[in-house]
Amino acid sequence: MNFATWITFFFAACAIAVSPGSGAVLSMSHGLSYGVKRTTGTILGLQAGLLLVLFIAGAGVGSILVASELAFNIVKIVGALYLIYLGFSQWRARVEVSADMPLQAAAHTEVPALSRRFLTGFLTNATNPKGIIFLVAVLPQFIDHNAALVPQLLILAATMCTVDLVVMHSYAFAASSMQRYFRDARAVKQQNRFFGGILMAVGAALFFVKRNPGT
């Protein structure tokens, strides 16, 4: 892979990562609720899901999903339902208040285990049909079919995940910097409902994603 191809993919990866989506919403939600350090587990899960989708697209399986209406609809429905479930869970998240601290300084959302945060991130990206469609359309443009496929996929995967790690942590940091404004139970509950509502809306929007845009 020559430098011109790589740098073009680098800028494409930046555009993909910065564009708002379920991963960005999840990073901001967890950043605001749990802080940047704990959100790293969620973001690593997002990268694992992103890697799965990238290698599915690179191996040609993604083309089958896009070509098969049944397979695509299964992935789409699973992804949509998962995001709606995730949003509903966020909406109903329990707000804890420490008994030995003033209410204004002690309210917070219960923090899930690291494994659950990782799995949440993984499933968010792995079940996203829009990501599969995009990578199936874009990835072939950066692959030299006269060269070995695996080394190229590894380079593209490392580039995309590095960019996405930085961007998602930036989203989480920006959100966590507002934690001081969400210290009382009512504010935390409103925050949970806001991000929960967005996740449910993104999930509902996935039902309208078409297998072949324009048809």
Q: Tens of pLDDT along the chain (215 residues)?
A: 788 889 988 988 888 788 778 888 899 889 988 889 999 999 999 999 999 988 887 777 656 666 677 777 787 788 788 778 878 877 876 655 444 434 343 445 578 899 999 999 999 998 887 777 777 777 777 777 778 878 888 999 999 999 999 999 999 998 888 776 655 567 667 777 777 788 788 778 778 767 654 44
- State the Cα–Cα distance between residues 52 and 127, nearest whole angstrom: 10
Q: Count CB atoms within 10 A of the CB of residue 108.
A: 18
Closest CA to 120 of 111, 109, 107, 129: 111
Alpha-carbon distances, residue 89 vs 113, 120, 196, 200, 206 (angstroms): 15, 11, 7, 10, 18
In the chain, DSSP finds a helix count (H) and a strand count (E) of 10, 2
- Which residue, chain included where needed, has tokens 């999930």? 203
Whole-number pLDDT of residue 72: 73
Domain ranges of the chain: 3-11+23-206
- State the Cα–Cα distance between residues 182 and 20, nearest whole angstrom: 23
Whole-number pLDDT of residue 61: 61
Q: Considering the entire predicted model, what is its pTM?
A: 0.74
